[in-house]
Each structure stands twice: as C-alpha cells, then as structure tokens.
Structure 1
Amino acid sequence: MPISSPTSKLRVDISHGVARLLINNGAKRNAFDLDMWRALPPLVAAIDADPEARVLVVSGAPGLPFCSGADISEFSTVRATSDGGRAYEQANGEAFDAISACSKPTIAAISGFCMGGGMGIAAVCDLRLAAAGAAFAIPAGRLGVGYPPSAMRYVVAAVGAQRAFELFFTARRLTAPEALAAGFLSRVVEEEDFDAEVTTLAETIAANAPLTLRAAKAAIRAAAALPGAPSLAACEALAATCFDSADYMEGRAAFLEKRAPKFTGR
C-alpha cells in the first residue's frame, strides 16, 4: 500500500526497493514547520515497517533544496512562549530520533541549502551525499536559539566536538568540499551527475540482503557509540538471525552458481 503523509509538505515514493522521503515546501525553500516535524516519526515508522522499502533516501523534492532549516515565521506563533518553544523542541527531537532509529539504511541526498534543522536531519542519516553546490550551516548563534543536548549529540557524532564548536560558535556557511573535509559527507558529486549517483547508490544498497544490512547498521552504530545505538546483545542477536535466514542460503547458492542473488529479507 502507498504510504500516505499527514502533510502535503512531505511525501513518500517507493520504487525498486528505495523509499524516497521528499521534502516539498517550496514556498519556504523547504523550511520545516511544526506540522512537518510531527509528521516525520509516523512516516519513518511506516517506511521502516514496509517490506518493499529496503533503503530510505531523504531529499528535497525535484527542483527544491534539501532543507533551509526551521520555518522562522513560527518564532512569533508556535514558538512565541517558553512552553511553545519546549513543545517545538520535543517535536524536533522526536523527528531526529525517528530517523536515527530506522533499522534500514538511510541516505541524506543534499542539494542546495542544508541549514539548521536541515543539517540536523542530514546528521541523523547513515550516509550523506551532496551536490557540489550545496551549502551547510547551523545559524543558531545568529538567532538566539538554544540547541538541546538531544539534538546536539547527533551533530557531534557526525563531525566531532571540534567541528561542532566551530559550526555553532561561528554560524558560518560551509561549502560542500568543506563539509566533506569535516567528515560530514561521504561523497560530493557534480550537479549534473547527482541524481543518478544517488539512485545508483540507493539501488545498490537495496539489492543487498536486508537482514545483513540491519545487523551491520546496528553493529556499526554500537561500535561508534552513536546516539541511540543498540546494545551489544541486540547486535549479536541480529547477526545470529542472518545465519538462520533463507537469504543466507540464497547468498551462498548465488555465489556458487555465479549469479546475482535475489534476497527476500527472510
């Protein structure tokens, strides 16, 4: 079944094992409002539960930037009071946690602006690719916004404490090559090749054994002490499941028969 979205500003397409979560708020240069933050957890949970989806790609809708951050107009409305601000931060944190907790591989496909909360969304994804013209910043210091530790830990996990200090203290923009050098990105791709590169990467991942990918993701997150990482016992259980699976038998058979495997996630 298609995955419906609580808001028209986020939509999900699934094809060839790849779920694409598209940010579609062109009127605000893909800024996130409160409704969008609240919509993310159920959308990601639905993608995680869908057997057709083997990898999740988060990006701007065609022709739009990745995300220009939070919708500043809500500072004078839903975030005008301390209670409203705390409720907003809770929704924000729950959205980050939902993407981080997704058991399937996640890719942030970044073009154009990746600012503030947008950089937070990218930080909680497993892999981050950017088009060569992408720009990155966390301008909280110019807005008087305080980032809670629950959100800050993802940025620190992505770039380390030293780079996080620089990002927050200066609020300056980074180019895509600078973000690559900082360790925030795994790859920078020329603009004309970007969409094809993202599709190739996502479909390559989607063709691999889902249980193996799930176990590998859990173990890597645990080894790197990433936020929300599973316990060692949980990682060992996931790895053990692979050896009892039909996909393990299929992988061995395909290797011996010198053909491409067809994995089912069972």
Structure 2
Amino acid sequence: MQTGPQVKTGFLRTGHSNGVVTITIDRPERKNAMTQAMWREMAALFADIAEDASVRVVVLAGAGEDFCAGADITEFDTARGSTDNARSYEADNSATFAAIRNCPVPTIAAIRGICFGGGFGMAAACDLRVSSSTALFSVPAARLGLAYPVDAMADIVNALGPQMAKYLAFSAARLDARSALDAGFLLEIVEPGGLSLRTAELARTIADNAPLSILASKASIRASLSGDRDDASHAIVLGNRTFESTDYLEGRSAFREKRPPAFTGR
C-alpha cells in the first residue's frame, strides 16, 4: 500500500495512507461550498480512485468546522443563471453523486457542522456516515426554487427513508445530529474532538479486512437495493472471485493459526 503526502488541487485536498484515501473539501472560509469546478474535480477524483487497486477505503471530509454547505450560491447568477446553464450544472452534480455512489470500495463521510444541499447529497451517496454532535443537516432546495437531481434524491431516500426524505425536501427544515441518527442517516455520533480519530479507526478496520470480500459485499448490497439484473450478475462474478483468491486461503490459515490475517487483495 502506498503512503504519501497530501496533495491539494484547487479546493480539494487528498491523502493516501495504507489503503485509505482521504478527500478533504478545503474551503473553510465558505463553509466548504462547492463551485462547479469543484464538482467536476470531485467526480474526476473518484473516477481515478475506482481504477486504483491500492485503495481500500475512501473518507470524505470537510476542512475546518463544517462538512459542506452545498453549492456555492454566489455562482448561481452565472453558472446556473439560464436554463441551459442550470441543466449543465445539474449534470455536474449528478456526475459527482454517481462517482461517489458507484465507487467500488467503501466510502465514509466524516461530518461536522454544516451538511446542507449538495453536501448532504454527497454524504447520502457515501456508504457510511459518522458525525460529530455539532452536525446540522438540511435539504434546502425548496427555499431556492430548485429541484434536486433524481439520482441524488434516490440516495437521500435510501439513506433516510421515504418519509424523512419527504419531510426534509418539502420543509427545508434543519435536522440535528441526534435526529439524523434516529432516522438511520448516521452510523454514529461522536464528540467534536473525536471525529477524525473515530473515522480513522473505522476506515482502518475496513481496510484491514479482505478487499475482494468487501468489493463483493458492496456489489451485492447495491444489487439488492437496485433490483437490477446487471448489478446482480456483477455481484455474482465478484463473489466467485473470492473463492479463487489467495486471500481466502490466507483467511482460513489465519483462523487455524489464531493470528490476524494479512490480506493482499489477490
């Protein structure tokens, strides 16, 4: 596994350490609001990750005190000022949500502070969500006169359940961390100072497990949610690969020898 320094391009910062990639939205002075260029860059980052066999887990976080305030409203008059521009912007949003959703390895959103709009959409597209007790959640499209992309709304429904998704979309209300946990949106809540440590522990636990098994499990869960035959066929292929892998042999050997397994993803 590679370990390297963090790299910043634009307002996104990435680091890769022992199979765990961390992507940090680094625009704290704007509560990590996303510009159109940032949406495109985020999608490209996840596309690259999907092709990198050394990556086992992705953590998505925000710099400073917030996760992400969503789209940068200061761009709306230009980037979303006309019907054509608004559709182009939505396509970039959808591409980012899809890239996160379709990432083959597990994704974890580490959420503190504001998680609104497109930031909420990115968190909903992740597999797991851990937040600090300071987190606030909102889907404010109804106060902006906009509609969310259908695929993003599907993520929100899957993560929250249909009734809570309707409530947030219709009311534009704010949800605190405890309410988000009770709705099933969050895996757990930690105190503000412990978010980074807890997220790192969770990522490390996942990264130390058998990568091919996790790829197959994620694909199977996706197939069960989508009901799509192609998704099911893909999950079956990935599941069959595990039976032929050296990791399967290693898992059995480690169990017999009462030692931690050392999986290689082969």
**Residue 45 of structure 2 aligns with which residue?**
43
Shift, 1:27, TM fit: 2.6
Q: How does 1:160-171 map to 2 (within 5 A)?
A: 160-171=161-172
- Mapped to 2, the partners of 1:229 and 1:215 lie a distance apart of 15
Q: Deviations over 1:5-56 (max 9, x none)?
A: 7942112101122100110012311001100100112201222222332100
- Mapped to 1, the partners of 2:229 and 2:201 lie a distance apart of 28
- Mapped to 1, the partners of 2:132 and 2:29 lie a distance apart of 22
**Residue 142 of structure 1 aligns with which residue?**
143
**Residue 259 of structure 2 aligns with which residue?**
259
Q: Deviations over 1:72-130 (max 9, x none)?
A: 00111111111100000000000000010100000011011100000000000000110
Q: How does 1:83-122 map to 2 (within 5 A)?
A: 83-122=84-123
Percent of aligned pairs with the same residue?
A: 46
Do structure 1's residue 27 and structure 2's residue 22 form an aligned pair? no
**Residue 10 of structure 2 aligns with which residue?**
8
TM-score normalised by L of structure 2: 0.94
Find the residue that maps to 1:147 and give its secondary structure.
coil
- Mapped to 2, the partners of 1:133 and 1:4 lie a distance apart of 26
Q: Deviations over 1:147-167 (max 9, x none)?
A: 232221111111122111100
The aligned length equals 264
- Equivalent residues of 1:131, 1:190 under 8 A apart: yes
TM-score normalised by L of structure 1: 0.94
**Residue 69 of structure 1 aligns with which residue?**
70
**Residue 17 of structure 1 aligns with which residue?**
19
**Residue 214 of structure 1 aligns with which residue?**
215
Shift, 1:221, TM fit: 1.6
**Residue 185 of structure 1 aligns with which residue?**
186
Which residue of 56, 59, 79 corresponds with 2:58?
56
- Mapped to 1, the partners of 2:31 and 2:147 lie a distance apart of 23
Unaligned runs of 5+ in 2: none
- Aligned partner letter, 1:47: I
Structure 1 stretches (4+) deviating beyond 4 angstroms?
1-6
Shift, 1:223, TM fit: 1.6
Find the residue that maps to 1:162 and give its secondary structure.
helix
- Equivalent residues of 1:18, 1:203 under 8 A apart: yes
- Mapped to 1, the partners of 2:97 and 2:61 lie a distance apart of 15
- Mapped to 2, the partners of 1:27 and 1:259 lie a distance apart of 47
Find the residue that maps to 1:185 and give its secondary structure.
coil
- Mapped to 2, the partners of 1:139 and 1:120 lie a distance apart of 11
- Aligned partner letter, 1:151: A
Shift, 1:230, TM fit: 5.3
- Equivalent residues of 1:127, 1:186 under 8 A apart: yes
**Residue 239 of structure 2 aligns with which residue?**
239
Unaligned runs of 5+ in 1: none
CA RMSD of aligned residues (A): 1.9
Bigger mean CA offset, 180-189 vs 229-238: 229-238
